[in-house]
């Protein structure tokens, strides 16, 4: 059943009226309290229920010592307690820190010690990972799914079950002070694709700005019913909920992405929109013979990294309109493809309120048609992150000359139709005097029908610089000789960019946003299973 809420039309609404998330949620509970806005874990919740439960979390945090600005770490997969804790932390004046539920070991220890949370809320299984990782021990630990809170982390922490934590209920609305747009709201760690993760600081004003950017981009309004299989410790998962709150629409979240169940889950949710990343589309596209019914209602998909050669095929097969956008954890949407524009192969044109520039290493503008580092300067306050938590040097480097430097190389098309993504500025391979985009090598490999995923990296060469290595994941049941794949790729790449080494692997490490984690791939390097296709003579 599709959402038929009585919310507001984004095209007609003055979004300057939108409040920071705590105030907007309170307003939604008052003007649309009986409307279902969230379905997660098989249960649905109205705006009034969301406000009541988030307020109860806020009251629990205050009862157990949370002061304004204290951090609250959320360490769990997609489940409703993660939503209530996110909302409740902001209502109470705290700073929520969503941690990647896949984090383990030194990475997890770094997240906890770097953010320094006063309160940690986690499942028992993930809490065991905190113990194993070592490091900082939070003052208060709330454990889900247990009748008695286990003393997992040892002395120094107070342990509560979720029911104990929530048993005091909510306070009256008048007890909560309003939040300012420039006040720190959340610390979200980057994927760390090219280096260690950084804690991106979002202000309260970031949330209404994100909802405005997405709604304006995709033309969403109060009839929005959006499905997301992306994690709540990443912007994409949170964006679906933000759109539901600010537009008075509806969001459905699943625990995880499933190739076999995705379209059924979308249909069962009554969704008219969904979120994606390119890896998801590639996996869905390589399901032979599977698609949606020809007469199925058109869905709008919003996301990133659409495979350009397959976009129209995907749209026809699944009865969808795919809209590509480009953003970062620091700025949610910088470039966007609109519904009425033909921009296949690009990441679009500047989103509303975004000034962009492509520059060289000296911050000088590059000519149209040449690749350059993408820089952006938003016109709307707090639509860009405040900086990086505990990293003033990294903040200064990234926010140089009053522009945010994304770290990505793009190229503007000479016909003005949009910008093409080239790759990470640090994701290039230097081979015999030539700079090679790892992204372009990967795209050549992905054109082979039996290649599901791949990652190109540079490895040391006997003659100096680097050689190109390609790690590939094959489609289930496929067998491809590395030499045959090389022959396929050299028809699509300059000879100097063709990989010297190809290694078939079972899987590639992923970031929280399900992108390939190039930092971990480089750390792994090659094994004895790699095939040397053209050794030096």
* Residue the block writes with tokens 């524009």: 341
Residues 434, 317, single domain; the answer is no
Residues 230, 253, single domain; the answer is yes
* pTM over the 0.85 mark: no
Residue 205: pLDDT above 70? yes
The last residue of one of the domains, among 126, 145, 179, is: 179
Residues 217, 287, single domain; the answer is yes
State the total domains in the chain: 3
C-alpha to C-alpha distance for 278 and 496, rounded to whole angstroms: 27
Q: In this structure, is residue 29 part of a structural domain?
A: no
Residues 520, 410, single domain; the answer is no
Asked whether 434 and 496 are in contact (CB, 8 A), the reply is yes
The last residue of one of the domains, among 423, 446, 481, is: 423
pLDDT tens for each residue of 330-356:
999 999 998 876 778 899 999 999 999
Collapsed DSSP state (helix, strand, coil) of residue 321:
strand
Residue 444: pLDDT above 70? yes
Q: In this structure, is residue 30 part of a structural domain?
A: no
Asked whether 377 and 402 are in contact (CB, 8 A), the reply is yes
Q: In this structure, is residue 3 part of a structural domain?
A: no
Report the pLDDT averaged over residues 28-47. 97
Residues 407, 449, single domain; the answer is no
Q: In this structure, is residue 189 part of a structural domain?
A: no
Residues 261, 344, single domain; the answer is yes
Domain that holds residue 505: 427-532
pLDDT at 173: 66
Q: Read off the CATH number of the domain in which 143 is found.
A: 3.40.50.980
Residues 390, 479, single domain; the answer is no
Report the pLDDT averaged over residues 165-182. 79
Percent above pLDDT 90 for the chain: 65
| Tokens at 288, concatenated | 């032979």
Residue 16: pLDDT above 60? yes
Q: In this structure, is residue 16 part of a structural domain?
A: no
pLDDT at 293: 76
Asked whether 135 and 73 are in contact (CB, 8 A), the reply is no
What pLDDT band is residue 493 in, cutting at 50, 70 and 90?
confident
What pLDDT band is residue 522 in, cutting at 50, 70 and 90?
confident
Residues 275, 249, single domain; the answer is yes
Q: At what angle do helices 105-115 and 124-133 cross, to 10 degrees?
A: 90
Q: Read off the CATH number of the domain in which 521 is found.
A: 3.30.300.30
Residue 513: pLDDT above 70? no
Residues 330, 266, single domain; the answer is yes
Residues 158, 229, single domain; the answer is no
pLDDT at 31: 96
pLDDT at 2: 28
Residues 90, 103, single domain; the answer is yes
Q: In this structure, is residue 1 part of a structural domain?
A: no
pLDDT tens for each residue of 387-426:
999 999 999 999 999 999 998 889 999 999 999 988 777 7
Q: In this structure, is residue 510 part of a structural domain?
A: yes
The mean-pLDDT minimum among 60-64, 101-105, 252-256 falls in: 101-105
pLDDT tens for each residue of 146-171:
998 777 666 678 999 999 999 988 77
Cβ contacts of residue 227 below 8 Å, gap of 6+? 240, 251, 252, 253, 254, 265, 266, 269, 271, 273, 274, 275
Q: In this structure, is residue 24 part of a structural domain?
A: no
Q: Read off the CATH number of the domain in which 359 is found.
A: 3.40.50.12780
The last residue of one of the domains, among 423, 441, 468, is: 423
Residues 321, 369, single domain; the answer is yes
Residue 323: which region, alpha, beta or left (left: phi > 0; alpha: psi -120 to 50)? Answer: beta
Percent above pLDDT 70 for the chain: 90
């Amino acid at each position: 059943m599709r959402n038929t809420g009585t919310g507001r039309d984004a095209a007609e609404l003055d979004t300057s009226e939108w409040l920071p998330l705590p105030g907007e949620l309170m307003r939604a509970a008052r003007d649309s309290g009986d409307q279902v806005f969230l379905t997660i874990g098989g249960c649905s919740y109205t705006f009034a229920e969301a406000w009541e439960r988030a307020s109860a979390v806020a009251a629990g945090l205050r009862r157990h010592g949370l002061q304004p600005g204290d951090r609250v770490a959320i360490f769990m997969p997609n489940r409703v307690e993660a939503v209530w804790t996110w909302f409740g932390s902001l209502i109470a004046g705290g700073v929520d820190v969503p941690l990647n539920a896949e984090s383990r070991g030194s990475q997890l220890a770094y997240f906890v010690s770097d953010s320094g949370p006063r309160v940690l809320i986690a499942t028992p299984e993930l809490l065991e990972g905190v113990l194993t990782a070592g490091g900082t021990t939070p003052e208060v630990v709330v454990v889900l799914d247990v009748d008695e809170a286990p003393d997992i982390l040892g002395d120094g922490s107070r342990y509560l079950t979720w029911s104990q934590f929530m048993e005091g209920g909510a306070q009256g609305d008048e007890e909560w002070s309003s939040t300012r747009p420039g006040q720190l709201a959340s610390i979200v760690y980057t994927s760390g694709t090219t280096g260690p993760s950084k804690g991106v600081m979002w202000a309260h004003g970031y949330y209404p700005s994100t909802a405005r950017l997405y709604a304006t981009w995709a033309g969403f309004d109060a009839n929005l019913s959006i499905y997301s299989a992306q994690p709540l410790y990443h912007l994409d998962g949170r964006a679906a909920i933000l759109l539901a709150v600010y537009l008075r629409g509806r969001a459905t979240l699943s625990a995880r992405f499933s190739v076999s169940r995705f379209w059924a889950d979308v249909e069962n949710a009554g969704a008219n929109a969904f979120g994606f990343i390119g890896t998801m589309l590639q996996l869905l596209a390589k399901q032979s013979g599977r698609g949606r019914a020809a007469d199925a209602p058109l869905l709008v998909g919003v996301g990133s990294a659409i495979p350009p050669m397959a976009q129209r095929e995907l749209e026809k097969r699944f009865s969808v309109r795919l809209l590509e956008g480009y953003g970062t954890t620091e700025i949610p949407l910088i470039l966007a493809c609109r519904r009425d524009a033909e921009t296949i192969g690009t990441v679009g044109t500047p989103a509303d309120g975004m000034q962009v520039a492509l520059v060289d290493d000296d911050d000088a503008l590059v000519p149209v048609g040449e690749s350059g580092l993408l820089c952006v300067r938003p016109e709307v306050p707090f639509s860009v992150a405040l900086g990086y938590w505990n990293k003033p040097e990294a903040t200064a480097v990234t926010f140089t000359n009053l522009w945010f430097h994304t770290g990505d190389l793009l190229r503007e098309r000479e016909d003005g139709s949009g910008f093409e993504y080239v790759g990470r500025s640090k994701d290039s391979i230097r081979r015999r005097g030539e700079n090679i985009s790892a992204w372009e090598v990967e795209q050549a490999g992905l054109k082979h029908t039996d290649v599901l995923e791949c990652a190109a990296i540079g490895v040391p060469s006997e003659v100096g610089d680097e050689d190109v290595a390609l790690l590939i994941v094959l489609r289930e049941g496929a067998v491809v000789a590395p030499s045959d794949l090389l022959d396929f790729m050299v028809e699509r790449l300059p000879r100097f960019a063709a990989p010297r080494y190809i290694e078939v692997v079972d899987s590639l490490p992923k970031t929280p946003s399900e992108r390939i984690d190039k930092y971990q791939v480089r750390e792994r390097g090659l094994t004895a299973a790699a095939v040397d296709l053209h050794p030096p003579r």
